[in-house]
Amino acid sequence: MALQPCAPTAQARWARTVEPRQTLQARQARPEPEPALALGRGSPAATLAQAAILSALCRRRMAPARHSSRAEVVWPDTVGGYAVRPVLASLPGLGDIGALVVDENADADSIEDVPEWVPAEWLSPVMGDDTVSDVYGAIGVWPAAFVAAQELMRFAESSDEAWSCLELGCGAGFPSLVAARLGATVYALDTEQLTLDLLQEAFNRQCAGKLTTVLGDACDLQDELLESVSVVIISDLLYSVQLGRSLGTRLGRWLREAPGRGLLLTDGGRSGRAAFLEAFDEAYKKAFFEDVPVPPWAAQRADFFDGNHTTSVGLLRY
């Protein structure tokens, strides 16, 4: 199914100033999304909308988000043969939102063998082990995802315009779930079907709206997918120099091509950060990461990847 591009909307740029400047496999979870509404470039309405958005994003205190009551969610015990558990957070104004992850403490005798979640590049070639599954986000929701969710709430509160977003390397997809709860048309891309299945199941049980999961590589994005959204979300994806450089170049050009597009990127200090900034500077403009506190409502045990407690992550400013 070909995605129909839409005109860019007057969306936030997670910035301090405003300047112009795979074979795709998609599973459609809801009917074909309608194009986002657009404000005319250079119009007074567009200028005022952008100013309001940027002003809201710079506020230190978050305005209450729109609230909708929901019945208690009944979570599944398994997804695709894997024992799962919800990572829950209670968001101001939105209530509880949960992402499904593989339960690493489950009784392995009752389910399929759960692969060891180790990035492939960490394996020594002499190990000769090609069975290790390279899945990011299948066993947790990292702090960067909660910071991204917080920024999404600030953004959505500042405008009533329809908007669409694409989360790259979504993993369990907590930001995508928050965006869907806020009313966005959401696309979520990951290289692994398992993480997309986890996200789809979590969406089905607690969200209304439109979600399309896409099996693909963030380094090999199709133009029509990028052009169909006004906001790109990345949380804790800069795992390598190659990935950082590729995303910096592609997304820098994407922002330069159409005023009004927005990039929301949070990073927990991964190895591709410097390469991303260098490539982004060459393709678009100078940028930096600002340390932002992890919100107090973030789920407990969110950051058990390295056993350390994280109090802040980097938020891209450009």
Task: Quick: pLDDT tens for 302-318.
Answer: 554 444 567 899 999 99
Token output for 307: 């056993």
| Mean pLDDT of the region 15-26 | 37
Q: Is residue 11 part of a domain?
A: no
Residue 57 has pLDDT above 90, yes or no: no
Bigger pLDDT: 172 or 305? Answer: 172
Q: What is the pLDDT of residues 72-84, one digit of tens each?
A: 899 999 998 889 9
Q: Is residue 193 part of a domain?
A: yes
- CB count, 10 Å around CB of 15? 18
Q: What is the CATH number of the domain that holds 306?
A: 3.40.50.150
Q: Could you tell me which of 308, 309, 312 has the C-alpha nearest to residue 291?
A: 312
- CB count, 10 Å around CB of 1? 10
Q: Number of structural domains, the chain?
A: 2
> At 219, is the pLDDT very low, low, confident or very high (cuts 50, 70, 90)?
very high
> At 283, is the pLDDT very low, low, confident or very high (cuts 50, 70, 90)?
very high
Cβ 85 vs Cβ 101: under 8 Å: yes
Cβ 123 vs Cβ 144: under 8 Å: no
Q: What span, in angstroms and rounded, lies between the C-alpha atoms of 159 and 10?
A: 10
Bigger pLDDT: 177 or 112? Answer: 177
> At 71, is the pLDDT very low, low, confident or very high (cuts 50, 70, 90)?
low
**pLDDT given at position 27:** 40
| Mean pLDDT of the region 131-138 | 50
Indicate the range of 160-164, 227-231, 274-278 predicted with least confidence: 160-164
Collapsing DSSP states into helix, strand and coil, what is residue 149? helix
The rounded percent of the chain whose pLDDT value lies above 90 is 56
Q: What is the mean pLDDT of the chain?
A: 76
On whether both 112 and 260 belong to a single domain, the answer is no
Residue 2 has pLDDT above 80, yes or no: no
On whether both 254 and 170 belong to a single domain, the answer is yes
314 backbone dihedrals φ, ψ, rounded to 5°: -85, 135
On whether both 113 and 154 belong to a single domain, the answer is no
**pLDDT given at position 103:** 87
On whether both 171 and 218 belong to a single domain, the answer is yes
On whether both 207 and 238 belong to a single domain, the answer is yes
Domain-terminating residue out of 93, 127, 161: 127
On whether both 97 and 193 belong to a single domain, the answer is no
241 backbone dihedrals φ, ψ, rounded to 5°: -60, -45
On whether both 115 and 223 belong to a single domain, the answer is no
Indicate the range of 223-232, 241-250, 290-299, 307-316 predicted with least confidence: 307-316
Q: Is residue 308 part of a domain?
A: yes
Residue 208 has pLDDT above 80, yes or no: yes
Q: Which stretch of DSSP H or E encloses residue 210?
A: strand 210-215
Bigger pLDDT: 202 or 102? Answer: 202
Q: Could you tell me which of 41, 32, 38, 31 has the C-alpha nearest to residue 4?
A: 32
Q: Which stretch of DSSP H or E encloses residue 85?
A: strand 82-91
On whether both 109 and 203 belong to a single domain, the answer is no
> At 248, is the pLDDT very low, low, confident or very high (cuts 50, 70, 90)?
very high
Record the pTM: 0.74
Q: Which long-range contacts (CB under 8 A, 24 or more apart) does 30-33 make?
A: 30/209, 30/210, 30/211, 30/212, 31/210, 32/1, 32/4, 33/164, 33/185, 33/210, 33/212, 33/228
On whether both 167 and 275 belong to a single domain, the answer is yes
- CB count, 10 Å around CB of 108? 11
Pairing of strands 262-267, 312-317: antiparallel
On whether both 193 and 259 belong to a single domain, the answer is yes
Beta-sheet strand order (sheet of 231-235)? 25-28, 210-215, 185-190, 164-168, 231-235, 262-267, 312-317, 288-293
274 HSE (CA, 13 A, CB side): 1
Q: Give CA angle at 138 (133, 142), nearest 5°.
A: 125
Residue 253 has pLDDT above 90, yes or no: yes
Bigger pLDDT: 218 or 36? Answer: 218
On whether both 109 and 144 belong to a single domain, the answer is no
Q: Is residue 64 part of a domain?
A: no
On whether both 115 and 146 belong to a single domain, the answer is no
Q: Is residue 295 part of a domain?
A: yes
> At 158, is the pLDDT very low, low, confident or very high (cuts 50, 70, 90)?
confident
Domain hosting residue 306, numbered range:
140-317
Q: Could you tell me which of 84, 225, 240, 98 has the C-alpha nearest to residue 167?
A: 225
Q: Could you tell me which of 51, 46, 52, 107 has the C-alpha nearest to residue 82?
A: 107
Q: Is residue 39 part of a domain?
A: no
Residue spans of alpha helices (H) in the chain: 44-58, 143-157, 174-181, 193-206, 223-227, 241-257, 273-283
Q: Is residue 83 part of a domain?
A: yes
Domain-terminating residue out of 69, 92, 127: 127
Residue 193 has pLDDT above 60, yes or no: yes
| Mean pLDDT of the region 161-181 | 96
Q: Is residue 300 part of a domain?
A: yes
The angle, 0 to 180 degrees and rounded to 10, between the axes of the packed helices 241-257 and 273-283 is 30
Bigger pLDDT: 187 or 118? Answer: 187
Domain-terminating residue out of 127, 155, 189: 127
> At 63, is the pLDDT very low, low, confident or very high (cuts 50, 70, 90)?
very low
**pLDDT given at position 264:** 99
